[in-house]
Amino acid sequence: MFTRYTAALAALLLASAAPLAQAGDKPTDPQIAHIAYTAGVLDIEAAKQALAKSKNKEVIDFAKDMERDHEAVNKQALDLVKKLKVKPEDNATSQALTKAAKEERAKLAELKGAAFDKAYIENEVAYHKQVNGALETLLIPSASNAELKSLLETGLKIFQGHEQHAEHVAGMLK
């Protein structure tokens, strides 16, 4: 199933090989909730890998910040879907994100020391850029529930902050 939102996110994920878009398709609230939650879980997993592998203070501090913020945001998201009685629904975009993150983790697992730190932070910059792009152009405009939209908008501001923070750490590693 290559709906328009999958295509948009896949295009962000893999600049090449964007599947054909079908006009008029957009993700539903249960799918949006699932995508946003999954994006958070994947960044927490990336942070845990960094905490286990890195010895660099800046990188460790950054990873702790990511773990803490994404856990707090995801808790809010869970509280909200419970309140709204929305059941997050797995979908092709969530699956594509998960697959890409798994591949990245395997790649990072091979690296050590400064090479790991650099690759982790660079991926954090790229990952937040992708997720923010998807939030801005697709997930937020598609959300129909006002509270879900508002949570996504706050999430976008937090993740834009993470993107800048990651860029700052990347600059320090050079």
Partner 1 sequence: MSAIALTRLLWLAVPALVLAAVPAAAATIQVTIDKLVFSPANVEAKVGDTIEWVNKDVIAHTATVKGSWEVMMPPKKSASLTLKAAGAVDYFCRFHPNMKGHLDVSP
Q: Which residues bind partner 1 (CB under 8 A)?
A: 65, 68-69, 72-73, 75-76, 153-154, 157-158, 160-162, 164-165, 168
Residue nearer to partner 1 on the CB measure, 99 or 168: 168
Residue nearer to partner 1 on the CB measure, 5 or 127: 127
Are 59 and 122 contacting, i.e. CB atoms less than 8 angstroms apart? no
Tokens of 14: 């893999």
Shortest approach of partner 1 to residue 164 CB, angstroms? 4
DSSP state, residue 23? T
Amino acid at 109: A
Shortest approach of partner 1 to residue 72 CB, angstroms? 5
How many CB atoms lie under 10 A from the CB of residue 32?
29
Shortest approach of partner 1 to residue 118 CB, angstroms? 20
Amino acid at 5: Y
- In this structure, what is the dihedral angle of CA atoms 116, 42, 122, 156, given to the nearest 10 degrees? -150
Shortest approach of partner 1 to residue 158 CB, angstroms? 6
Residue nearer to partner 1 on the CB measure, 122 or 167: 167
